[in-house]
Amino acid sequence: MATIETTYLGELRTEATHVQSGTKIITDAPVDNQGKGEAFSPTDLLAASLASCMLTIMGIKARNSEIDIDNTSCSITKIMAADPRRVSEIVISFKFPKTYTEKEQQLLERSALTCPVYLSLHPDLKKTVDFGW
């Protein structure tokens, strides 16, 4: 069974439906690529997926290690390149609401940098991660 069903709606817009939950995501082509820029672009979702995956894997490790990372957030910047048009770099800056020991910091960093999305991205895609310690 499919995980996601996606439909082209016209006007450079798609609707992706998560089959299990029914949750929907609309994508729109960005203004610099003939779109309206009224929703996440597919490449925005790529960058958001990396950040969400890193936070999720850190959350699993933190929960198992009794470390509170609730309300941790990050800012994501996606940098595009041309010829061919692609994401050339994703910059992620984490903001932690608490102070952690060096051991906890290392554990969280290792967890983030081994998330499935991070490991699935092509090595040519530069991933700049600032944990902000």
Q: Where are the domains of the chain?
A: 4-33, 42-130
Looking at 3.10.580.10, 3.30.300.20, 3.90.110.10, 3.40.50.10860, the CATH number of the domain 42-130 comes to 3.30.300.20
pTM of this prediction? 0.94
Contact between 67 and 104 (Cβ < 8 Å): yes
Answer yes or no: are the C-beta atoms of 127 and 78 closer than 8 Å: no
- 107, pLDDT greater than 90: yes
Using one digit for the tens of pLDDT, what is the confidence trace for 38-85? 999 999 999 999 999 999 999 999 999 999 999 999 999 999 999 999
Cα–Cα dist 106/71, whole Å? 19
Nearest to 89 by CA among 54, 27, 46, 58: 46
What digits encode the pLDDT tens for the residues 2-41? 999 999 999 999 999 999 999 999 999 999 999 999 999 9
- ∠ CA 80-85-89, nearest 5°, is 30
